[in-house]
Every structure is written in structure tokens, then in C-alpha cells.
Homo-oligomer: A and B are copies of this chain.
Amino acid sequence: MEKVNLILLTCVLFIAAITIGYVFLIYHKIKKLKVVNKDVANNAAYIRSGAITFLKREFKIIVPFIAIVALVFVGLGFIPAFKSAEGVGWESAICFVVGATFSALAGLVGMLSATNANSRTADAANEHGLPRALHVAFSGGAVLGLCVVGFGLIGLTGLFFAAYGILNATNGGDSIKAVLEASHIITGYGLGCSMVALFGRVGGGIYTKCADVGADIVGKIEANIDEDDARNPATIADNVGDNVGDIAGMSSDLCESYVGSIVSAMTLATVFIQTELGKGQDALANLNIRLVIFPLALAGLGIIASIISVLIIRLREWKDPQKTLDIATYIAVGIVIVASVFLSVFYLRNADGSFMSVDGHAAPWAIAAVAAGLACGVAVGKIAEIYTSADYKTVKHIAKESETGHATNIIAGFASGMKSTAATVIALSVGIILAYFCFGIYGIGLAAVGMLSTAGITISVDGYGPISDNAGGLAQMSGLRPEVREITDHLDAVGNTTAAVGKGFCTGSATFTALALVLSYGQVSGLIEDITANSAYTNMTVDVTPFVIGILIGVMVPFLFSSLVINSVGKAANKMVLEIRQQFQEHPGILAGTEKPDYNRCIDIATRASLKEMIVPGIVAVVTPILVGVLLGKAGLGALLIGGLASSGMLAIFMANSGGAWDNAKKYIEQIGKKGTEAHHAAVTGDTVGDPLKDTAGPTMDILIKLMSVIALIMAPMISSGWSVWSLIVK
């Protein structure tokens, strides 16, 4: 490998290490802050211990699962057909385990930080007012954001580097071969992240929503007490849920998205180079292993940008939360764009010093692809805002429909989410086309990396929301002054708006990443003739009938998966409702305020239910692609991915936007002073229906499709010969 590559990788590794160091620094700074109010401290301790208990039990289920899959990988490595597969063999098994561990670590550290930051934020708001509270909450969020990208990148780069070093030493110095094989091996890392993220999102998502829905139904609707009222036995469980779902689950999820985007771009580059190699060395003159390392370097730049941005924000206390978060984002995005121009201009060059060229476009066009991705992310976020913010007509329309009852509220929200898929798909399509026009299919992978390069700061902002929310919960439970709750609500509201753009980036990058993986699968499985072909015709040839059936199944799987997850929330919430009702009935003192509810039983119900319920969806996600690949062959599996990509995207958008719109319609009705009216009750129904859609099922969609894609990629060499049960019967 060229020296410049080695230096770059070392730098990236170094940056990631510094990031993690900085994470622990902030973490301890937050932890050192003393919580003055006793009630807040006590309640926070409750929440923290509930959250830790959940994670412990969750890991007890995930660890054996991971171990089994790792053993399967090791076993597969001994089967000849898999020898050349992406991410198979003991090397990949190690990567897989490390990926799973780091993804879990990201969730764990993020959650530990959040459960410290929430009480400190509430306390700061109580003792010192908004600026200090903002500072603490933002710092808590920053730990989350930086540890996700830090852990994600250090593992990925470290393993890539190590694998390269070992392979290079053992194969006698064929560095190109070493790079290609190393990037095969790290596919396992991405898969490990995805697997943990799936369980984290599903388990955490079920937990948080069953507690939330259960608490709302009995508390808000039946007993007419406020959210986070300490008399509600599910209050603690509800707040624990925010931490295990919106914090730990989200952190693992975003770690997966972040790593996934980088891995898929690297895989695409590898596939490009291998295809070129297949045509003879001459073609290689135009392609270069720098393309494989470029996504890592881009991610490194993104982390630097994020750290600088966090440093600047934390320098002093700000007064305006919106401005603070905006500035943080702008700084990071600005730095990334400028720095990546330099990176692509100076780094993406051939040995003779000329610009590298992909699909006929010179290297600087790579930046255009990245910019197309960023623009697409902004557009998708903006569309989500239009469909879910009370400033626009959709939410107002839903609020109006609430006046005629529960049913019309549901119908309106349902339709609005479905409608929002149209503009979003158009934005995504335009983004894909632009990225493709700028830098070929590789440009699609780069666009995804670009969108998530500033994930460090995006996740900080994303994490800041639930921390403020939790702080508000603590303030309410602990009976702090109403002004404190107002401060935290203000912090939270701003977080919601800014998070919409962040979510746009995640939705967009998921589509781009999954598409890059699907295209890599297409080339590796032999469905796509020549992925490097000059624009006009990158053709794919498929066997029609299994392909059509694959599409049908692919479009169906996200529906099935969502239904399983949503049903689980419903079932668990039902148990929760019965438990809360029982406590209220058997101990009338609870509602009177003279008796303490039994928080632990609610926590226990949520923990058990969510862990039990996350297993079946997990199996569906893993088994489907294997089954379809074996039964229908490479065309069927390819179709499964394409259908799944489109369908999961659509359901994700639909569920996120319907849920968001219902949520904000309820808030809007409260704002215009109609709390407690029939319309408000109807709106609460909508909000409750939307909860499992937007916070449990919706966010798992992208993990599902990426997980299926990576599994398909691993299976590709086995079925590339055309072997399948289908072909055996037909022939």
C-alpha cells in the first residue's frame, strides 16, 4: 500500500482514539456535577438502575445469538463455495464479534451518559436556569454522538488496518489483494453492528413504547393525571424506556447506519476494482485502492468537524437553544464540505498524478456526489418537517379532523403519512440520479457516507432531545417548580425540530447505503454484468419468474416485520395497562398520593415483554434472505433486496411521518388551549397509535434491509453459479 494510505489510516485511527478519549472526558465532567435536589437524584437513580438492568438482560440474549452466528461464520469458512465470500471465515467472525461489541458499547456508554445527564439537566434548570441546563444537555448529547462515531470508526479502521497488515505479510506483499480481502473481511464488522442494532432497536423500541402507551392510556386518558406524574406506576418504566429505546437503541442504530454507509462504500469500491481486475490489469490504471480508503478518510474528516463543533459549543453557555444547535450543525457541515474538497482533489489521484476517474468523471466530481447526498438529506428532512410540524397545514388538518372524533383523526394521520412518501421518494430518486450522474454507482455509496459524515454532531443533537425530555420527566416526578419543566420542554421542543433534519439524513443515507449494498450484491452474484460500465448501460440480467416472486416477498417482509413489532408493543402495553389498573384498584392510596406505586413491577413487565418479543422479528430478518437465496436463487434474492429496499423505505417514511404528525397534532391542540376537549382525546389516540409506528417499527426498517443486504452479500458467491432449489426443479 502506498505510504499516503498508511498515513491516512493511521490518522483516522488516531482521530477516532482522540474522540473516544474526549468522550470520556465529557462523560466524567457530567458525572462530577452534583445533583442538589434529593428527589431528582433518587428518581434518576431509579431510572438508571432500571435501564442498566434492561441492558444487562438484553445482552444476555444477544450474546449467545452473536456467538452462534459467529460460529456459523467460522464454519462457513471451511466450505469451498464460501471461500471467496464477503465476510466469511474466522477473520470475519472476529470482525463480526468486534462490530457487535462496539455497537453495544456505543449504546451502553451513550445510555450511561444520558442517565447521568438527565438529572444534571433538571438540576441545572432548577438551580441555574436555561443556559446551564442547555450546556449539560448538549454535553450529554455530545457524549452520545461522539462515542457512536468514535467506537464505530476506531473498530472499523483498526480491523481493516490489522487485516490488511496480516494479509499483506502472509501473501508476500501483494498489497492490492490484501486491501481487497481486508475489505471483504470487515463486512463482518458491519453485520455485527447491524445485528446488535436490530435487537437494540426492536427490544428498546418495544420497551419504551409499551411503557409509554400503557402509562398514557391509564394515566392520561383514564385517571386524568399528567404525563410523568409520580403516582403513575409506569412513570419510571416510561422514563427508563426513553433511555433504553431513544438513547441506547438509537445509538446502536446510528452506529450501524454510520458504519454501514462506510462499509457499503468500501465494498462498492472493492467490487469495482475486482471487476476491473477481471478485465485485465490495464483497466486498473484508472481505478485505485484509494477508492477503498476514501470513505474512511471522509469519515475521519467528519469526526474532526464534529469534535471542533462540540468544542466550540461547549466553550461557553448559550442562551438560545435553537441557535446553538443550528450553529453546531452548520460548523460541522461547513468543515466537512471544505475539507473533503481538498481530500478529493489531492488524494484521489492516479500514480501518474492525474485525477482518478470513475464512470468517466474525474475525482473532484466525487464532491458533487457527496453534496448531492447532503442536499437530498436536507430535502428529505424538510419534507418530513412539512408533513409533521404544526407550522404547516397537514398537522393543522389532522387537528381539525380530531374534532369529529378518534376515527377521523386516525384516518387523516394515516393518509398524511402515506402521502408523504411521494415527495420523499422523488427527493431520494433525484438524489440517487444526481449522485450517479456525478460519480457513477460509486457516487451513490459516497453520497451515503457524506450524509452521515457529520453523524457525530447530528447524533449529539438527536440525543440531546431525549435527555431534555427525561430531565422534564424528572422535574415533574420530583415536584420541581413549573418553570423548570418549561425550560426542559423548551429544550426538548427545539431538539425535535432539529432532529427532523437529522432523521432526514438517516432515512436518506439508509436508502443510499442499502442501494450500494444491493448493487454490490448484484455484481458479486453475477446478476449485474459490469458495474463499472460507462454510465449508459449497467445492465442486470435476471430470471424473470423467481425475480417477480422475490419482489413480492421482498415487499412483504417489511410489512410482516412491522406487524410483529407493532403487535408486540400492543401486547406488552396491554399487560402494562392491566398492571397499572390493578395497582390503582388495589391501592387507592396511590392516586390519592398517600401511597407509593410499585414501579418495579412495571419495569419488570416492560423488560420481560420487550426481550421476549424481539426474538421472532430478529429471526425473520436473518432467515428470510437465506431461505429465499436457497429456494429462488440469485435473482430471487436480488429481487428480495430491491423489493425490501423500496418497501422498507416506504413504510419507514409512512410510519415516521404519520406518527410525527399525530404527535404534533396533539401538541398543537394543547397549544391552542383545547386540552381536555373531545378533540384532544381523539388526538391523544392518534399520538398513541403513532408511537409504536414512529418509535418502534419505523426506525427498524433501515436496519432490517441493511441486515438482509449484508447477509445476501455473504451468500452471493455460493449462489452466483446459478444454483438454487428453483433451478434444480426447473432444469
Contacts and interface: CB of A to CB of B under 8 A. Distances in A.
Interface in A363-422: 400-401, 404-408, 410-412, 414-419, 421-422
A425 to B, nearest CB: 4
B685 A560 contact: no
Contacts of A441: 544-545
A418 B562 contact: yes
Interface in A491-532: 511, 515, 518-519, 522, 528, 531
A543 interface: yes
Nearest to A424: B556
Contacts of A566: 411, 414-415, 418
A672 to B, nearest CB: 18
A551 interface: yes
Contacts of A578: 404
Interface string A174-198: 0000000000000000000000000
A564 B731 CA distance: 46
B543 A537 contact: yes
B415 A567 contact: yes
A566 B419 CA distance: 10
A414 B436 CA distance: 37
B559 A731 contact: no
A547 B172 CA distance: 43
B407 A545 contact: no
A436 B730 CA distance: 10
Contacts of A553: 425-426, 429
Contacts of A425: 552-553, 556
User: Looking at chain A, what size class is its interface with the partner chain?
Assistant: 35 or more
B539 A646 contact: no
A340 interface: no
B419 A564 contact: yes
A650 interface: yes
Nearest to A727: B536
Contact of A412 (B419, B429, B570): B570
A153 interface: no
A30 interface: no
A433 B552 CA distance: 12
A542 interface: yes
Given A418-B560, A515-B548, 16 more contacts: A221-B405, A406-B685, A411-B689, A416-B567, A419-B563, A426-B553, A428-B552, A432-B548, A433-B545, A433-B549, A518-B548, A539-B542, A539-B544, A540-B547, A541-B541, A559-B650
Interface of A: 213, 217, 221, 400-401, 404-408, 410-412, 414-419, 421-422, 425-426, 428-429, 432-433, 436-437, 441, 511, 515, 518-519, 522, 528, 531, 535-545, 547-549, 551-556, 559-560, 562-564, 566-567, 569-570, 573-574, 577-578, 642-643, 645-647, 649-650, 654, 684-685, 688-689, 692, 727, 729-731
The 8 A-B residue pairs with the shortest CB-CB distance, nearest first, are A418-B563, A407-B688, A555-B646, A419-B563, A415-B567, A415-B566, A425-B556, A422-B560
7 contacts: A213-B408, A410-B689, A415-B562, A421-B559, A540-B543, A548-B645, A643-B643
